[in-house]
A and B are shown apart, each in its own frame.
With several copies, the nearest count.
Chain A
Amino acid sequence: MADKKISMREALRAALHEEMVRDDRVFVMGEEVGRWDGTHKVTRGFFEEFGERRVIDTPISEMAIAGSAVGAAMAGLRPVAELMTINFAFLALDAIVNHAAMQHYMFNGKMTVPVVFRAASGWGNQATASHSHTPEPIFAHFPGFYVACPSNAYDAKGMLKAAIRDENPVLFTESIALYPKPGSVPDDPDFLLPIGKSDYKRRGNDVTIVAYARGVDWALEAAGMLEKEGIQAEIVDLRWLRPLDLDLVFESFKKTNRCVIVEESLPHFNVGSEIAAQIQEHLFDYMDAPIKRVSALDVPLPFAKEIELMALPDAHKVVAAVKEVLK
């Protein structure tokens, strides 16, 4: 089957659509997923096609959306619950962590919770502090479920299909800024990407840039700039924060001995801190320079575009960090 060039939005839509066609137990629920086509249009046309049995518009009830999806999953369905944006997932933290992630363990395997929570994530559209969180690391802190953070259309499709077919709960984050980004995607209905496998997005010998979701774009852009100066960056896309696969990160670091981690999240207790901690712990003798983190600034995100952008990471900040570690 040939590849098609489509946006990440369309890739996610295709993944959902294929899984719903494949398995009647798969259904979507959430605020505005049906008649409105989904706030980010990922479920466009689903309501007309699948009807209200399998495309369920819910009240503004995040606790109940997440919690009822857990119940439906325990009972044998495969819910894909959309929390609209991950900001609203704050209201469902207990349902996601205590009732989805902990469930299988607390009942010693007697229950499985094959639910997928979809949530648009990230900032950069003047959504202001309460609507601009990128809190993936705080969710990844907890065991018992998986956390997906795709960086492009191809990965998004393969990862979402794998998440839907997996027996474990998955928090599937979708970077809002990446929805329109085109990429070529296989239309093989059984195209799956393995859960918890990171991926090289660029090969190079001089420095390892670790990123995920939107960070990968900043890394790639930076790599382009660095190349002009003769610096070859290797980019590892984590793809998943849980399970966190550092095999490629370590492999690459052993070669480059230098690393920069790029993420959209806040600067403390974030993904970069975990990776830096693990690299220095496991590959201490390979370290030629301190590992640098590029992230958002430690501020609630403001509305005004000019200062909002100052708070965000970008390719120039990545380039600067790379030069630091290459000093």
Chain B
Amino acid sequence: MEGLDKDQMLKMYHEMVLIRRFEETCKELYHQGKIGGAYLHLYSGQEATGVGALTAIRETDHVITAYRDHGIALLRGLDPGAVMAEMFGKRTGVSGGKGGSMHLADPTKRFWGGYGIVGGHLPIATGIALKVKYMHEDDIVLSFIGDGATNNGYFHEALNLSEVLEVPIVWLIENNLYGMGTRIELASGQPELVKRAIAYGMKEGPRVDGMDVMAVYNAVQEAAEYARKHGPVLLESLTYRFDGHGMSDKMYDKRTDELKEWHAHDPITRLRDLLCKQYPDIGPTLEATEQAVEKTVTDAVTFADESAIPTYDDLLSNIYV
């Protein structure tokens, strides 16, 4: 396909399967009480958006997202064990057990998190892009945005400022149709979210099928090149969340039919079918991938399980530099 060879497609398949298994495992562990807390937001169903987008940018580009961040963290190469340990609230977690599921990050990998306040990360993205421009660097920032977040003041101010400052940034809306239980039509006067680019005189990217990893890849690659040269772009990926908003979601129980429809577009199945069609003898490789993922996830859980819990000293450390 468009500029992607077999290995790259296999890599994407591997990543999507890893995210899915990781999330399914988190869910089980939450219900077993191994993972605690009020918040656990899973990425299942939306893998194609994260995988397609991150495959399309450079490793040196910056990435930021909201609290639905497990998948993005894994894609940025954060160690699955350390990510799982964060869910467990262990010392070995990527945030030392202090940030939890919503606050995963690794600046050395240019992944800036992981934010729980809806919209709060958007001006941060603008600021990181401002640094890139200020330092005459040639990176871009890729910022994910939830559909619900587009109705918050942060969205408006952050996007307008990015356009005014002409900073290199790709704003990628992950439109999964819901903000918690509220459907997009009830929350946004303009349900075609990508049109909001007009309000900022911003380059309006396409609205892509977010269940098709190739479509996302191509759109983000184009947008990234544009952003590197000219400034902000707004993209929209139409996707769907296979799980509830968090671990309890009244609406989730109500949308079984809708779920069925969307499962028919499962981005993983779609990529799998595509691979099998293009490479008829690829079956064993895919199974090997799936087994490898199993092991990665099991090892991650074991690591998290066996890791130590934070101490009183940890409680008091890193409040100030």
Contact = CB atoms under 8 A, between A and B. Distances in A.
A68 B321 contact: no
B206 interface: no
A39 to B, nearest CB: 8
Contact of A299 (B106, B124, B164, B316): B316
Contact of B319 (A98, A110, A131, A300): A300
A72 B161 contact: no
B100 interface: yes
A60 B251 contact: no
B203 interface: no
Contacts of A95: 120, 123
A111 B107 contact: yes
A306 interface: yes
A307 B312 contact: yes
Contacts of B134: 27, 53, 72, 77
B187 interface: yes
Contacts of B113: 107, 111
B20 to A, nearest CB: 24
A59 B156 CA distance: 11
Contacts of B180: 31-32, 36, 39
Interface string B96-121: 11111111011100001111111110
A75 B130 CA distance: 9
B117 A98 contact: yes
B38 A126 contact: yes
A184 interface: no
Contacts of A260: none
Interface string A162-181: 00001110000000000000
A3 interface: no
A2 interface: no
B62 interface: yes
Contact size class for A? 35 or more
B310 A71 contact: no
A250 B13 CA distance: 65
B186 interface: yes
Q: Quick one: which of A64, A76, A125 has the most chain B CB within 10 A?
A: A64
Contacts of B158: 63-64, 67-68
Q: Quick one: which of B107, B148, B188, B315 has the most chain A CB within 10 A?
A: B315
Given A64-B157, A104-B319, A302 B128 contact: no
A289 interface: no
B317 interface: yes
Nearest to B179: A60
A129 B274 CA distance: 44
A299 B315 contact: yes
B320 A35 contact: no
A53 B120 CA distance: 25
A32 B318 CA distance: 35
A61 interface: yes
B303 interface: no
B224 interface: no
B141 to A, nearest CB: 9
A304 B126 contact: no
A304 B97 contact: yes
**Pairs A-B, 7 closest by C-beta atoms:** A71-B127, A67-B123, A303-B100, A126-B37, A108-B96, A304-B89, A64-B157
Given A75-B112, A129-B98, 6 more contacts: A36-B181, A64-B122, A67-B158, A68-B130, A127-B37, A303-B95
7 contacts: A56-B165, A61-B161, A68-B127, A94-B120, A99-B115, A109-B318, A144-B319
